[in-house]
Amino acid sequence: MLIFCGNKVITITKPLEDGDTVIKLAEENNEVHIEQLLGDYSTIVEKIITEQVEIPFETITKDAESSIDGATNKVITQGENGLKEITYKAKFRNDVEIERTVLEEKIIKEPVNKVVQVNKNVVTSRSSVERTINNPATTSTNSLAKQVQSKTPQVKTFNTSAYCSCSKCCGKSSGMTSSGVQATSWYTLAAGSGYPIGTVIYIPYFKDKPNGGWFVVQDRGGSIKDNKLDVYMGTHSQAIQFGRKSLECYVYM
């Protein structure tokens, strides 16, 4: 495609849909600079990326009445995380990742579930209902934990994903949550309407992160129901890399 600008002729090779933008720009401004015309024509590079991510194990409980010794809270099988390999096709413009598509997921190692022998009133962590547990807030120095030390948490398993403040994740890029505050990485959670804004949730999976695994519900989402959580992260690539996981959570209502 040729663009005539004064006494200069610019040759541009680009798919038609992007060329329309340049033509419109040239028509609207007779004094447009060459740099402006070529600004949107930086090279897009595609790369194939392969990463390995852990598959968290789940905790299964077994009724103590079915055992011979009748012991409770006894670990029968230690849990072990699995491993899967994910292949992406990623697009980069000026060395900045702008898009990532999953091409293939391959399980390298299946997780081994942790089996715990408990009394008959204790249920599995898969059931997403309250069960008898210790309160991790009593041993944490996190400021959110200190706020809920007197509360007894519910242990639930959530289908957990991640998001950032970009338009692809939120349809906007302001970073403003539905509660009216700015989203903060390793602090903000989006949860269903069954969990009031301000609900503190501890996620052991993130215990080694800067927040020690402690989050607060500050946001909502169209696809976020009461069995789902969305963890706010600082970049889109971090959110994509996290993917979706079933995670055990301690909810302080």
Give the pLDDT means over successive 10-residue stretches in the chain (253 positions): 53 51 53 53 85 84 58 77 89 83 89 77 42 78 92 92 89 85 94 94 94 95 87 92 93 92
Q: Is the dihedral of CA 118, 121, 122, 127 positive or negative?
A: positive
pLDDT for residue 71:
53
Q: Fold for domain 42-122?
A: Resuscitation-promoting factor rpfb fold (2.20.230)
CA atoms within a 13 Å half-sphere pointing along the CA-CB vector of 101: 6
| CATH number given to 125-253 | 2.40.40.10
pLDDT at res. 97: 76
User: Which of helix, strand or coil describes residue 131?
Assistant: coil
Q: Kind and range of the H or E element at 238?
A: helix 236-242
The predicted model scores a pTM of: 0.50
> Which residues share a beta bridge with 252?
200
**Residue 133 has which token pair?**
């547990």
- What residue ranges do the domains of the chain occupy? 2-41, 42-122, 125-253
Determine the Cα–Cα distance for residues 229 and 190; give it in Å rounded to an integer: 6
